[in-house]
């Protein structure tokens, strides 16, 4: 799906937001939901999505939703750092399939990095163990401030 198109509310993140699909939930406020990526590129890979949004990508998002989104991203990133003690954090976001986007509800990736540990490839790794993801989600949630 290119940058042109319409929002499909059957996408997996819309289903998670409606409670139709499970997720390992880390954090939620009025603006964002954060949960563990099931195909993590590193231990602790977390996604932050705007809750009241029909934006497929950053370019489509209503400007008034962006502040809540980035504040949520920063808050969750700080909690990931506090919980897992990474030495670096990749915070990234893809717009359109040719750029690597595979789920078409705007989202931001928070990927912890450790020196000497390679990051997994985007959208091509194995599925994580759900119990392990829930443990990580709890660890990160405990550090939200
Ligand atoms: P994108 O490729 O659109 O930037 O990122 C989508 C992300 O969603 C990928 O990193 C992928 O691993 C993750 N993902 C795909 N399906 C699911 C799912 O059902 N649940 C969760 N929690 N993550 C998913």
Average pLDDT over residues 103-122: 96
Q: How confident is the model at residue 16 (pLDDT cuts 50, 70, 90)?
A: very high
Ranges assigned E (strand) in 1-145: 25-28, 32-36, 46-50, 88-92, 108-113
Q: pLDDT tens for residues 25-76?
A: 999 999 999 999 999 999 999 999 999 999 999 999 999 999 999 999 999 9
Q: In terms of pTM, does the model score above 0.95?
A: yes
- pLDDT for residue 102 is more than 90: yes
For residue 2, tell me if it sits in a domain. Answer: no
Q: Is the CB of 114 under 6 A from ligand 1?
A: no
Containing structural domain, residue 102: 12-141
For residue 7, tell me if it sits in a domain. Answer: no
Closest C-alpha to 80, from 125, 138, 14? 138
Whole-number Cα distances in Å, 17 to 48, 53, 54, 74, 89? 12, 10, 12, 20, 25
Distance CA 45, CA 38 (A): 9
Q: Is the CB of 92 under 6 A from ligand 1?
A: no
- 107 noted as active-site residue: yes
Distance CA 89, CA 112 (A): 5
Supply the CATH number for residue 120's domain: 3.30.428.10
pLDDT of the residue at 2: 84
pLDDT of the residue at 15: 98
Overall number of domains in the chain? 1
**Which of the residues 31, 45, 107, 109 is marked catalytic?**
107
Q: Does residue 37 contact residue 125 with C-beta atoms inside 8 Å?
A: no
């Amino acid at each position: 799906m290119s940058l042109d198109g319409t929002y499909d509310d059957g996408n997996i993140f819309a289903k998670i937001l409606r409670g139709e699909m499970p997720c390992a939930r880390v954090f939620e406020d009025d603006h964002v939901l954060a949960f563990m990526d099931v195909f993590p590129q590193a231990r602790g890979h977390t996604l932050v999505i705007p809750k009241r949004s029909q934006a497929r990508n950053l370019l489509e998002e209503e400007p008034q939703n962006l502040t809540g989104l980035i504040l949520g991203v920063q808050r969750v990133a700080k909690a990931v750092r506090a919980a897992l003690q990474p030495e670096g954090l990749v915070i990234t976001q893809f717009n359109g399939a040719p750029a690597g986007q595979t789920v078409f509800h705007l989202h931001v990736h928070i990927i912890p990095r450790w020196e000497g540990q390679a990051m997994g490839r985007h959208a091509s790794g194995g599925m994580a163990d759900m119990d392990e993801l829930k443990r990580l989600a709890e660890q990160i949630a405990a550090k939200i401030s």
